[in-house]
């Protein structure tokens, strides 16, 4: 009989695995308590939005499982952040094997996880659509309004924080990041442009607020 996946159970499994990492926030996010699990939930929601247009063309169950597990590799909390994708694939395989999930599908899902942080893969012709959507969803997190708030949060941990230093931080990170649209599918490219416009306007407006002019 075909194994029926309980996605809530998968989320709980990943949440538990990431609990220790999320408790201290990890090393990569500039002293802020960045929850990898909350990130995972947001990426999952982005994935559902982007995948809507491709319901007939993709293996949705595999994409859902890969998205839920994509950052579980951080739970190993290694110095080398780049290994999180390969580690995630190993941990996901362990889980799927333990529930008797079909080997062929497990192979596909673990390949999506193992390659999800290789930026060059996104625009390669032979990249499966499931991987494109996972990577796009992952890239959307912490961008636009959310990226601005994160920049402010990071800057607020510094001793000499001020409105001006927060604006500079936003210009250096979010504003700069938003100028190059990295997306591939049409909807993702459009959403990125909307986020870019918002970021540009926010920086313009805050500049006026802090330094005057119009
Ligand atoms: Fe991620």
One-character DSSP codes across 26-66: -STTTTS---HHHHHHHHHHHHHHHHGGGTTTS-HHHHHHH
Please tell me the CATH superfamily of domain 7-139, with its number. Hypothetical protein af1432 (1.10.3210.10)
Q: Say what the pTM is.
A: 0.94
Distance 71 CA to ligand 1 centre (A): 5
Distance 200 CA to ligand 1 centre (A): 25
Residue 142 contacts residue 150 (beta carbons within 8 Å): yes
Where along the chain do its domains lie?
Answer: 7-139, 145-211
Distance 83 CA to ligand 1 centre (A): 13
Distance 87 CA to ligand 1 centre (A): 13
DSSP-derived secondary structure letter, 131: H
Pairwise CA distance, residues 116 & 182, whole Å:
14
Q: For each of the chain's 214 residues, which pLDDT tens digit applies? A: 567 899 999 999 999 999 988 776 555 556 788 899 999 999 999 999 999 999 899 999 999 999 999 999 999 877 666 789 999 999 999 999 999 999 999 999 999 999 999 989 999 999 999 999 999 999 999 999 999 999 999 999 999 999 999 999 999 999 999 999 999 999 999 999 999 999 999 999 999 999 997 6
């Amino acid at each position: 009989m075909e194994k029926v996946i309980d996605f809530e159970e998968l989320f709980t499994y990943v949440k538990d695995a990431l609990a220790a990492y999320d408790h201290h926030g990890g090393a990569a996010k500039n002293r802020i308590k960045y929850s990898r699990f909350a990130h995972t939930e947001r990426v999952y929601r982005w994935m559902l939005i982007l995948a809507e247009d491709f319901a007939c063309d993709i293996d949705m169950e595999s994409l859902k499982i890969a998205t839920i597990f994509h950052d579980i590799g951080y739970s190993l909390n290694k110095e080398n952040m780049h290994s999180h994708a390969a580690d995630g694939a190993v941990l996901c395989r362990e889980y799927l094997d333990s529930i008797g999930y079909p080997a062929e599908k497990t192979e596909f899902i673990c390949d999506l996880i193992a390659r999800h942080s290789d930026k060059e893969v996104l625009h390669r012709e032979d990249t499966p659509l499931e991987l494109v959507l996972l990577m796009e969803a992952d890239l959307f997190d912490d961008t636009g309004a959310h990226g601005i708030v994160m920049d402010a949060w990071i800057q607020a941990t510094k001793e000499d924080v001020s409105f001006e230093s927060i604006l500079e931080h936003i210009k250096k990170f979010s504003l700069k990041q938003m100028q190059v649209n990295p997306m591939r599918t049409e909807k993702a490219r459009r959403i990125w442009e909307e986020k870019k416009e918002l970021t540009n306007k926010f920086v313009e407006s805050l500049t006026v607020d802090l330094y005057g002019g119009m």
